[in-house]
Amino acid sequence: MSEQVNILIVDDKPGNILVLEGILENLECNIITASSGNVALGLMLEYDFALVLLDVQMPEMDGFETATLMKGSERTKVLPIIFVTAISKEQWCIFKGYEVGAVDYLFKPIEPIVLKSKVKVFLELYEQKRLLKKQAELLEIRVKELLDLKQVNCYLENLSTLDGLTGIPNRRSFDQFIETSWKNAMREQLQLSLVMVDIDFFKDYNDNYGHLKGDDCLILVAKMLLSSIKRPIDFVARYGGEEFMAVLTNTGKQGALLVAERMKKGIEQLAITHDYSDVAAWVTVSIGVAEIIPQPTDSIMDLIKNVDQALYQAKQDGRNKICCSL
């Protein structure tokens, strides 16, 4: 990370704070602590935080009250909260936490590996948002410097090829890229593969966790998919909603399946909690794979239809699966 980011630990018991600090001490972050909800709210006015680890049971102002006040403030309303607690795991208690803005629950005694993996995800997400903000600021400065109308139009054209949420290429970019790749594959008689990825039960995720957390999920998934392709000639785009498409040039079925498996495992390793999925306790994906050596009688739509059918089969087989077209 370019700069250390802040994490806030809120707990009225010094011993609990020491335990959490010990678990997180090797992460690239600056840990700030608060012994009460009131102190925590004051620190949030002074510092920017990537994440808050918030105890539920505290005197005067408990964790639920603290989270409610955070969500009422413009400065802290989107700040991720993980409740760290030893109280009941009953559904009503968990639901109350999510209602006041929690992104996750961790129950004591804390599993260090679980805590560190979840914190790492939010540190990476915060860093990505910070980088995007810096890029947006630089782009804004650049736009102001553009006096020539043609330059401005070229700049806007470039922006129109990227997905506004995830920052990866959008459907328009995909259409342009697949057309170029198809022509090249037909001319050189090369294999061309598509990998279509769909987030399992994403509507349930959005409906229960809210659209802001849904957006965060899409950003994390997009970043992971982008990191799963290793060659500069390959391409990943947001195809629509919770669907993504990868174009793998000069790659056959076996190579595409390897990439698909890397994508699937990478998403699972993000460990994004999904209590409303029927296949796992975390976010998973279903993937379709199709490949072709284009002939004059073939079309791009044939390949897209095949990969879409493979994805459909993966869903029919129970989701969290990879299926390949025949």
Which residues 6+ apart lie within 8 Å of 88 measured at CB?
A: none
Query: Are 81 and 70 contacting, i.e. CB atoms less than 8 angstroms apart?
Result: yes
Judged by DSSP in three states, 73 sits in: coil
DSSP 158-174: HHTTB-TTT-SB-HHHH
Alpha-carbon gap, residue 71 to 274, rounded angstroms? 22
Name the catalytic one among 46, 179, 242, 268: 242
242 part of the active site = yes
Strand runs labelled E in the chain: 5-10, 29-34, 51-55, 81-85, 102-107, 192-199, 235-240, 243-249, 285-292, 322-324
Query: Are 193 and 303 contacting, i.e. CB atoms less than 8 angstroms apart?
Result: no
Sheet (strand 29-34) strand order: 29-34, 5-10, 51-55, 81-85, 102-107
Q: Which residues are part of the catalytic machinery?
A: 242
